[in-house]
Amino acid sequence: MLEAERHPNIDILSYSEVIEVDGYIGNFNVKVRRKSRFVNEELCTGCGACTEVCPIYVPNYFDENLSARKVIDIAFAQAVPAVSDIVRNSCVECFACKDACDTGAIDFSMQDEIVELEVGTIIVATGWDLYQGDDYGYGIYENVITQIQLERILAPNGPTFGHLKRPSDRKRPSKILFINCVGSRDVNTNPYCSVVCCNLSVKNSKLIKSEYPDSDIVVNYIDMRCAGKAYEEYYRRAREAGITFIKGMIGKIEEDPLTKNLLVQFEPVGTDTIITSEFHMVILSSASLPSQGTNEIAQVMNIEKTPDGYLKERHARLDPINTKVPGIFLAGSCQGQKSIELSVSQAKAAASSASIPMGRGDYSIELIRAEPSDERCAKCYKCIEACPYTAISVNEKGNIIVDLISCRGCGSCAAICPSKAIELAYYRDIQYNAYIDELLVLED
């Protein structure tokens, strides 16, 4: 991030959101709302004087609410830019931060700013969100946490400085249960596999075992899907390290109100026995979901979504980078569930694809486009509903018009038009008739 910030050709608009996109490849007009931090980025030096005097604490979203932060603080240690922001909804407006700021960077009257950009190509990389249902007591029992929360606990800059402690009493748990496929591979929630959960359970259970060899760790799974280079070997080493993997389904989890330990019922596959076991902490490998930003950008940019809610590519196997709109590319988990290496590969592919028209300075298209006829048009506008690229619209006279850039020549409009009032250039009926007559010519 620091390298990106220092690059002369890169502008980072943090704490911002895209609210409107118009135009076409080479000429996109983008409106971005820059949300107010109530701190002037140009004046703030990140000294932390404002944080020291602030009297109010709020949950730290960067630590998945496992720790607290001041109402005014830098988001996290490596944040770019290293500028404080104010959680305005929790601020009591004591103005102690304003008095402590030597540069006068804090301004409670700041408003959101709209920035207009002219860009040639767009790469969408809006990531994913975590499934957070109440499965297995999550959100009810303190010691039922997600893998993301465990990642923050095990991180050296996390709330416990990398040492495993459970949230309820900050004691080290010695008996831990991992539950895979929470909220995924289930027709009632998300039917798809989230790809990374199995490897994440193996990795984090092995990290815990490395620091605390006496830990009793159980991983409950439906199927272990450790696909990828050296992943199966890593899974084997986890088993050899003493981590227990049990195939089966979890029945229910109850909390002991005194100890905050968790009583778990499950039935291993291949047995008719229901086992009840006590654990100090339960970690849920929850499903990955399309992020809120993914859903918002799909509406703003008019990008289609697949049935699972991720952004739709031109072809899931042959062209997962391009969208139906020329000049808009996809990278990472906005297009589907991905591991880190696949996200990196797709990001490089998207950057390469976007650089081609930008480097050439021009973009060539085949003019196989829909051509409407005002004389035959019955004004049913079925072609507008059928167009997957929203390339067809109506002018002020009520006549059909086609955007030559957005139209991809798919022929959906021509197929559905009852009046034959719209046809594809070079693929008109009269041309087909002549072609067929030539093929079926009778010899004397």
DSSP category for residue 307: T
Q: Identify whether 309 is part of a domain.
A: no
Q: Identify whether 435 is part of a domain.
A: yes
Domain boundary among 289, 309, 340: 289
31, two tokens: 């409106």
Q: Identify whether 216 is part of a domain.
A: yes
98, two tokens: 């304003």
434, two tokens: 């002549």
- Answer yes or no: do 144 and 275 share one domain: yes
Distance from C-alpha of 159 to C-alpha of 63, rounded to nearest angstrom = 7
- Answer yes or no: do 169 and 278 share one domain: yes
CA 430 to chain centroid: 48
Residue 443 binned pLDDT confidence (cut-offs 50, 70, 90): low
Distance from C-alpha of 409 to C-alpha of 323, rounded to nearest angstrom = 15
- Answer yes or no: do 280 and 142 share one domain: yes
Instruction: Give me the percent of the chain exceeding a pLDDT of 70.
Output: 99
- Answer yes or no: do 285 and 171 share one domain: yes
Which residues partner with 246 through β-bridges?
Answer: 220
pLDDT in tens, 230-281: 999 999 999 999 999 999 989 899 999 999 999 999 988 888 888 999 999 9
Q: Cβ atoms within 10 A of the Cβ of 399, count? A: 13
Q: Identify whether 25 is part of a domain.
A: no
Beta strands 216-221; 244-255: pairing state: parallel
Q: Cβ atoms within 10 A of the Cβ of 379, count? A: 11
More confident of the two residues 362 and 217: 217
The whole domain housing 244 covers: 129-289
Domain of 423: which CATH number? 3.30.70.20
The pLDDT of residue 429 is 78
Dihedral, CA atoms, 69, 52, 90, 76, nearest 10 degrees? -40
pLDDT in tens, 35-59: 999 999 999 999 999 999 999 999 9
Report cis status (omega within 30 of 0) of the bond before 81.
yes
- Answer yes or no: do 266 and 155 share one domain: yes
Q: List phi, psi (to 5°) of 3.
A: -65, -40
Q: Identify whether 318 is part of a domain.
A: no
The pTM is what? 0.87
Residue 1 binned pLDDT confidence (cut-offs 50, 70, 90): confident
356, two tokens: 């081609």
Domain of 269: which CATH number? 3.50.50.60
The pLDDT of residue 393 is 92
pLDDT in tens, 309-349: 999 998 888 999 999 888 999 999 999 999 999 999 999 99
Number of H helices, E strands in the chain: 11, 22
Domain boundary among 289, 309, 336: 289
pLDDT at 79 over 70: yes
Q: Identify whether 41 is part of a domain.
A: no
- Answer yes or no: do 164 and 276 share one domain: yes
Handedness of CA 104, 106, 110, 115 (dihedral sign): positive
Q: Which of 401, 366, 367 is nearest to 384 (CA)?
A: 401
Domain boundary among 289, 319, 338: 289
Residue partners of 226: CB distance under 8 A and separation at least 6: 198, 199, 202, 232, 234, 235
The pLDDT of residue 444 is 57
- Answer yes or no: do 270 and 401 share one domain: no
* Cβ proximity of 326 and 340 under 8 Å: no
Helix (H, G, I), strand (E, B) or coil at 305: strand
Q: Identify whether 84 is part of a domain.
A: no
Lowest mean pLDDT among 68-72, 81-85, 317-321, 434-438: 434-438
Q: Identify whether 243 is part of a domain.
A: yes
Beta strand spans in 370-429 (E): 370-372, 392-394, 400-402, 422-424
- Answer yes or no: do 160 and 276 share one domain: yes
Give the chain's domain count: 2
- Answer yes or no: do 282 and 378 share one domain: no
pLDDT in tens, 112-169: 999 999 999 999 999 999 999 888 999 999 999 999 999 999 999 999 999 999 999 9
